[in-house]
């Protein structure tokens, strides 16, 4: 089954639940290195704090084994 590609959004990336022991059921696709560079240049603290406030959406996988 193909893994869905979703447009890169830093907030969505930070809020997406993940497990280190499986292939992720969702992959983020970034359109350019310029967009990646812009994310790396910004202060991550406000984005991280907002992501924590919003919480995580429901995971797309079963719980830990």
Task: Report yes or no on 37 lying in a domain.
Answer: yes
Task: Report yes or no on 32 lying in a domain.
Answer: yes
- Round to whole Å and give the CA distance between 1 and 27: 13
- Round to whole Å and give the CA distance between 47 and 14: 9
Question: Is the model's pLDDT at 65 over the cut of 70?
Answer: no
Task: Report yes or no on 50 lying in a domain.
Answer: yes
Task: Report yes or no on 60 lying in a domain.
Answer: no
Tokens 């967009």 sit at which residue?
35
- Sequence-distant (6+) residues with CB within 8 A of 47 are 10, 11, 14
Kindly list the distances between the CA atom of residue 65 and the CA atoms of 3, 20, 27, 61, in Å, as whole numbers in the listed order. 21, 11, 22, 11
Structural domain including 10 reads: 5-18+25-54
pLDDT value at position 32?
Answer: 93
Residue 64: both structure tokens together: 């830990």
Task: Report yes or no on 38 lying in a domain.
Answer: yes
pTM of the full structure: 0.73
Number of domains in the chain: 1
pLDDT tens figures, 9-53: 999 989 988 888 888 888 999 999 999 999 889 998 999 999 999
């Amino acid at each position: 089954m193909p893994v869905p590609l979703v447009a890169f959004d830093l907030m969505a990336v930070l809020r997406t639940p993940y497990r280190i022991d499986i292939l992720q059921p969702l992959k983020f696709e970034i359109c350019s290195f310029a967009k990646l560079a812009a994310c790396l240049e910004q202060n991550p603290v406000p984005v991280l704090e907002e992501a924590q406030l919003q919480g995580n959406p429901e995971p797309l996988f079963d719980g830990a084994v």
